């Protein structure tokens, strides 16, 4: 293969609608295709609205070629990840960070195990990748600490086309009134610390502004227990006007940004946090906890706080919303940060990384367990039983090639 006949494909666990990683994968594909590369997206699962944009990850085995490049989005351990590891294609790993497992131990032990095994698997890619990229400087530092020899930063695609749609009219009318709307957008999961957002809002509403409401926007899929604990906290505090809205369409999200007066985040672990930048784009003042990648993402825009004392955060909220000069200053800082982000040449940076990998000497092949493909085939057949014949699956022995084989497909005999 020579010239643009080289394919640059992407592989990731799932392509989600309105998901930050999914939006980035679609943005990368547009850049690659505009540059003349053949480029497909291979996934285990996809939102039904995006299935026509993807290929099943198992098809990657037939489409693989040693001269191709795989852009592998790594955010959690997956079957797609292990298949990508075992193929001969050159690899650019894009690391979106893995939330520390301790956030999920109580709420979702299965997810905690996935996070733990994902971090364990990540280390195996140090020798496998031609290049490892963080989607933030924060994530690059983690790659460097794990011993990846060649790293860089591929900034998140500053693409807001999903918000340039007609706002959902009913939702806009429901919340567009004289009340102050405080917004948070993100999955309803423990590391986002939705409980703290609610406490801060309750302090603000109680001390400063009874005519206010909190809009919590995001999916709680797989975290029903955590959502239930949030609902219990709302009842215990006696905090009215807290709306758990759930997952929304782009039209609904646009409407909610349009009616928001302030964006409030208490998240303790982010690899980037795209909603912060979406709020900048929609010119909503942002107040966020200074943790993980958040300070770098905000890049001098908005307001950061370091102490989670509800009265302190409530006072910050009140100051921004009652002082027009301060609000203008905050918005100006966000505009400048967004201009800096937009000024980055994302397409040029991405294509430069692709050319760098194409020009580099080929790495020695990584060792894969001799029975890897046999294990993978067994795993797939067990998964099919688990879904379609659960009684048969439960009747299998727990060891010696039975049910326990569904948990691990070993890449290397020493793993």
pLDDT (tens digit per residue) in 180-213: 999 999 999 999 999 999 999 999 999 999 999 9
pTM of the model: 0.84
Do 47 and 120 belong together in one domain? Answer: yes
| Spatial contact of 340 and 331, defined as CB atoms under 8 Å apart | no
Do 309 and 269 belong together in one domain? Answer: yes
Judged by average pLDDT, the poorest of 194-208, 248-262, 386-400 is 386-400
The pLDDT of residue 117 is: 81
Average pLDDT over residues 68-77: 90
Q: Check pLDDT > 80 for residue 378.
A: no
Q: Supply the CATH number for residue 194's domain.
A: 3.40.50.2000
Residue carrying structure tokens 């530092």: 141
pLDDT band at residue 114 under the 50/70/90 scheme:
confident
CB-based burial of residue 255 (10 Å sphere; 0-12 exposed, 13-18 middle, 19+ buried)?
buried
pLDDT band at residue 41 under the 50/70/90 scheme:
very high
User: What six digits make up the tokens of 13?
Assistant: 């666990």
| Spatial contact of 350 and 154, defined as CB atoms under 8 Å apart | yes
Q: Among positive and negative, which fits the CA dihedral 104, 81, 291, 188?
A: negative
Do 231 and 331 belong together in one domain? Answer: yes
Q: Check pLDDT > 50 for residue 382.
A: yes
Do 237 and 326 belong together in one domain? Answer: yes
Do 189 and 151 belong together in one domain? Answer: no
Average pLDDT over residues 71-75: 92
The pLDDT of residue 366 is: 79
**Of 405 and 114, more confident:** 114
How many structural domains is the chain composed of? 3
Tens digit of each residue's pLDDT (9 = 90 or more) over 312-359: 999 999 999 999 999 999 999 999 999 999 998 999 999 999 999 999
The pLDDT of residue 383 is: 67
Do 33 and 131 belong together in one domain? Answer: yes
Beta bridge partners of 11: 42, 72
| Spatial contact of 21 and 97, defined as CB atoms under 8 Å apart | no
The pLDDT of residue 87 is: 93
Mean of all residue pLDDT scores within the chain = 89
CB-based burial of residue 68 (10 Å sphere; 0-12 exposed, 13-18 middle, 19+ buried)?
buried
Do 145 and 212 belong together in one domain? Answer: no
Q: Among positive and negative, which fits the CA dihedral 254, 258, 259, 264?
A: positive
Do 113 and 166 belong together in one domain? Answer: no
Judged by average pLDDT, the poorest of 119-123, 169-173, 390-394 is 390-394
Do 203 and 287 belong together in one domain? Answer: yes
Average pLDDT over residues 87-93: 96
User: What angle (nearest 5°) sits at the alpha carbon of residue 264, between those of residues 260 and 268?
Assistant: 150
The pLDDT of residue 214 is: 98
| Spatial contact of 272 and 156, defined as CB atoms under 8 Å apart | yes
Q: Check pLDDT > 60 for residue 307.
A: yes
Do 140 and 186 belong together in one domain? Answer: no
204: phi then psi, degrees, rounded to nearest 5: -65, -45
Judged by average pLDDT, the poorest of 31-40, 109-118, 133-142, 312-321 is 109-118
Do 376 and 361 belong together in one domain? Answer: no
Query: Containing domain of residue 405, as a range?
Result: 369-415
The pLDDT of residue 156 is: 81
Helices 346-359 + 20-34 axis angle, to 10 = 70
Burial 295-330 (b: 16+ CB within 10 A, else e): bbbbbebbbbbeeeebeebbbbbbebbeeeeebeeb
CB-based burial of residue 25 (10 Å sphere; 0-12 exposed, 13-18 middle, 19+ buried)?
buried
Tens digit of each residue's pLDDT (9 = 90 or more) over 148-175: 999 999 988 667 888 999 999 999 899 9
Do 147 and 21 belong together in one domain? Answer: yes
Q: Check pLDDT > 60 for residue 411.
A: no
pLDDT band at residue 301 under the 50/70/90 scheme:
very high
Average pLDDT over residues 11-26: 86
Q: Where are the beta strands (DSSP E) in 135-211?
A: 151-153, 180-185
Q: Check pLDDT > 80 for residue 293.
A: yes
| Spatial contact of 287 and 320, defined as CB atoms under 8 Å apart | yes
């Amino acid at each position: 293969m020579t010239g643009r006949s080289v394919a640059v494909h992407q592989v990731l666990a799932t392509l989600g609608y309105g998901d930050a990683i999914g939006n980035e994968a679609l943005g990368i594909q547009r850049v690659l295709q505009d540059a003349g590369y053949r480029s497909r997206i291979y996934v285990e699962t996809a939102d039904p609205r995006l299935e026509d944009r993807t290929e099943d990850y198992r098809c990657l085995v037939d489409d693989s070629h040693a001269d191709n490049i795989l852009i592998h989005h790594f955010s959690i351990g997956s079957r797609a990840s292990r298949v990508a590891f075992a193929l001969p294609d050159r690899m650019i790993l894009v690391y979106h960070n893995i939330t520390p497992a301790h956030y999920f131990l109580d709420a979702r032990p299965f997810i905690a195990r996935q996070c733990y095994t994902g971090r364990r698997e990540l280390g195996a890619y140090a020798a496998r990748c031609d290049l490892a990229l963080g989607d933030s400087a924060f994530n690059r530092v983690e790659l460097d600490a794990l011993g990846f020899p060649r790293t860089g930063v591929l900034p998140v695609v500053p693409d807001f086309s999903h918000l340039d749609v007609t706002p959902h009219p009913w939702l806009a009318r429901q919340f567009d009134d004289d009340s102050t709307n405080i917004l948070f957008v993100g999955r309803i999961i423990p590391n986002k610390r939705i409980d703290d957002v609610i406490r801060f809002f309750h302090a603000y509403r109680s001390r400063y502004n009874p005519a206010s409401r909190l809009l919590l926007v995001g999916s709680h899929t797989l975290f029903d227990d955590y959502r239930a604990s949030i609902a219990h906290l709302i009842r215990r505090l006696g905090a009215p006007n807290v709306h758990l809205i759930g997952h929304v369409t782009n039209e609904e999200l646009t409407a909610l940004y349009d009616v928001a007066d302030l964006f409030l985040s208490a998240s303790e672990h982010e690899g980037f946090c795209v909603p912060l930048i979406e709020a900048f784009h929609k010119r909503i003042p942002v107040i966020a906890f200074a943790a993980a990648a958040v300070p770098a993402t905000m890049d001098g825009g908005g307001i950061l706080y370091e102490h989670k004392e509800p009265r302190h955060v409530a006072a910050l909220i009140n100051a921004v919303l009652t002082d027009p000069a301060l609000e203008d200053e905050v918005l100006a800082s966000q505009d400048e940060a967004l201009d800096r982000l937009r000024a980055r040449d994302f397409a040029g940076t991405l294509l430069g990384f692709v050319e760098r990998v194409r020009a580099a000497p080929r790495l020695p092949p990584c060792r894969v367990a001799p029975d890897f493909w046999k294990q993978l085939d067994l795993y797939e057949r067990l998964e099919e039983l688990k879904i379609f014949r659960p009684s048969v699956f439960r009747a299998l022995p727990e060891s010696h090639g039975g049910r326990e084989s569904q948990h691990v497909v070993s890449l290397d005999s020493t793993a």
